[in-house]
Amino acid sequence: MSRFWKIALIVVAVIVVGAVGFRLLHKPAAEEGAQGQHRGQHRGQGASGDAPAGGASDKDKDAAPVPVTVEPVVKQDVPVYLTALGTVQALNTVTVNPQISGQMLSINFKEGQEVKKGDLLAQIDPRPFQAAYDQSAAKQQQDEAQLATAQSTLKRNDALVAKGYVAQLDMDTYRNNVANLVATVAADKAAVRAAKVNLDYTRILSPIDGVAGIRQVDPGNVVTTTTNVVTLTQIHPIYVMFTLPEQNLETVRKEAASGEPLEVLALDRSDSHTIADDGQLNVVDNQIDTTTGTFKLRSVFQNAKGDLWPGQFVNTRLKVSTVKGGLVIPAQAVQRGPDGDYVYLVQQDQTVKMNPGKVANEVGDSHVMISSGLALNDLVVTEGQFRLKPGSKVKALKPGEVPTAPTTAEMDKAKKNAKQQGGGGRRGG
């Protein structure tokens, strides 16, 4: 190998050794910088994790307030109801049967028609019964004529007994004959009345005020006393039957004994519409059903418009008392949580907190009464709860009020904050 190549190899070796030494000398500083940067990132993440205690609360304070609808807690008298599923029953239900047998000539009502007591419902062929009546009346007249003759004979002979022209034995016969004919005439009169009753039964009359159902017989058929012509139901007034748990018996009896009739409401199956509100408690049953642990109650409604119908299922509300000065809020303000019911309460600094609230009773269809957790005039959030968390700043709006549109300055500020938060996120990554 020539001298030139030896020198070149030596120079290359020196360069390689120098590069390796430089790398070794500067590696710890680079790793330390990387470790420092890594620790800085962990500290940033730790600060983010502690946001609820420090930094995040500052951001929440700087964030724009959340528009929410609020309403104050109000005080009012609240009726206390016991609710149950009820069944509507007719005041009277009558199955109309003929009192005699015969051919049905006509039906004089329309199915579903309201009829009055005494209205003609149907007509049975009256001719056989008219003939029987006429025959009985004629027999009565015949026997009355015989009685008149016997009485006249007795009167004439009674004056001759003292003179000895008529024997006493004959007088006894005359008297017995008159008595016999008197009894016969009385029987004839009874037969005439019976024939008249049967003749009247050919006209089938309504025994009550009610609604006629579907007829069970057509004209031309021969009916008997077991034939069902129609069923009538009286619906003015009308009953609603319902049951309550036995633990409510003492309360109901106590309030019913106060002298004032207890009010009853009838609502539809969804509790969204009041069908009738003029009901009164009529009867509390005299025993508890041991199989179900409930007792029966019967209420009566005037049902002037016919809104209640026999067999209908309704939800009943029995008013047992009234709470004076109860605290009431909209039902939509109450939220359900793992620890029970709560509401978002607006504080003086326009932030919200989760406040426990115990619901005592429903007030109508849209409000509830709170037994604890709130005070009069407290502001509770009724709309917009899904955007809130404890400590959120809010802008309180009245029901139906629309938040004002943001100004240009507010929009620019929001964009600037968004950019700053976005840039910080990239540096942290």
By three-state DSSP, how is residue 209 classified?
coil
What integer pLDDT is reported at residue 60 of this predicted model? 54
Q: Per residue in 164-191, pLDDT tens? A: 677 777 777 878 888 999 999 999 999 9
**What CATH number did the domain enclosing 122 receive?**
2.40.50.100
Q: Per residue in 368-415, pLDDT tens? A: 888 888 888 889 998 888 888 888 888 888 887 766 656 676 667 666
What integer pLDDT is reported at residue 414 of this predicted model? 61
By three-state DSSP, how is residue 199 classified?
helix
What integer pLDDT is reported at residue 392 of this predicted model? 87
Residues 214 and 152 in one domain: yes
**What CATH number did the domain enclosing 290 receive?**
2.40.30.170
User: For the ranges 296-305, 326-335, 382-391, 417-426, which has the lowest average pLDDT?
Assistant: 417-426
Residues 317 and 340 in one domain: no
pTM over 0.85: no
Q: Are 308 and 324 in contact (CB under 8 A)?
A: no
Question: How many structural domains comprise the chain?
Answer: 3
Give the position of tokens 């700053």.
420
Residue 186 in any domain: the answer is: yes
Name residues whose C-beta falls within 8 Å of residue 46's C-beta, 6 or more positions apart in sequence. Answer: none
Residues 201 and 250 in one domain: no
User: For the ranges 36-45, 317-326, 379-388, which has the lowest average pLDDT?
Assistant: 36-45
| Residue 402: both structure tokens together | 């629309």
DSSP state of 1: -
Average of per-residue pLDDT across 307-333: 91
Residues 113 and 218 in one domain: yes
Residue 72 in any domain: the answer is: yes
Q: Are 190 and 72 in contact (CB under 8 A)?
A: no
Q: Are 289 and 295 in contact (CB under 8 A)?
A: yes
Q: What is the mean pLDDT of the chain?
A: 83
E strand residue ranges, 162-293: 203-205, 210-212, 222-223, 230-245, 263-267, 274-289
How many CA atoms, within 13 angstroms, populate the side-chain half-sphere of residue 240? 32
Q: Per residue in 148-158, pLDDT tens? A: 998 887 877 77
Residue 6 in any domain: the answer is: no
Residues 283 and 392 in one domain: no
Residue 232 in any domain: the answer is: no
| Residue 38: both structure tokens together | 């890594």
- The rounded percent of the chain whose pLDDT value lies above 70 is 82
Its domain, for residue 124, covers 91-223
Residues 100 and 183 in one domain: yes
Q: Per residue in 199-215, pLDDT tens? A: 999 999 999 999 999 99
Sequence letter at residue 152: S
**What CATH number did the domain enclosing 396 receive?**
2.40.420.20
Residues 348 and 247 in one domain: no
Residues 332 and 397 in one domain: yes
